[in-house]
Structure 1
Amino acid sequence: MCSDVYCECSENCDDKLIEFLKKTYYVDAGHDNQEGMVRLNSRMSQIEGIGAANRIFYLAVPQEALLDVALPLADGAQTKQGWNRIIIEKPFGFTGLSSLRVTQSMLSRFEEKQIYRIDHLLGKDLIENLTVLRFSNLVFEPLWSRTYIRNVQVIFSEETSNEIQGR
Structure 2
Amino acid sequence: MSKENFKLSNKADIALFEAVTTAHEKYFDRIQSKIKINTKAKSLIYNALGDYVYDMNGCFLDDPDFQLGWYYDGDVRNYATQLLNDIENAENIIANLYLLYSKNKADFRNVAAEYEETKDTHHYMSDVSADYYNYIGGAVISCKPTYQDLMTLNNHDLDELNSILKECDLKPVSMFNIEKIAS
| Structure (1/2) with the larger helix percentage | 2
Same fold by TM (over 0.5)? no
Whose RCO is larger (CA < 8 A, sep 6+)? 2
Give the structure-1-normalised TM-score. Answer: 0.28
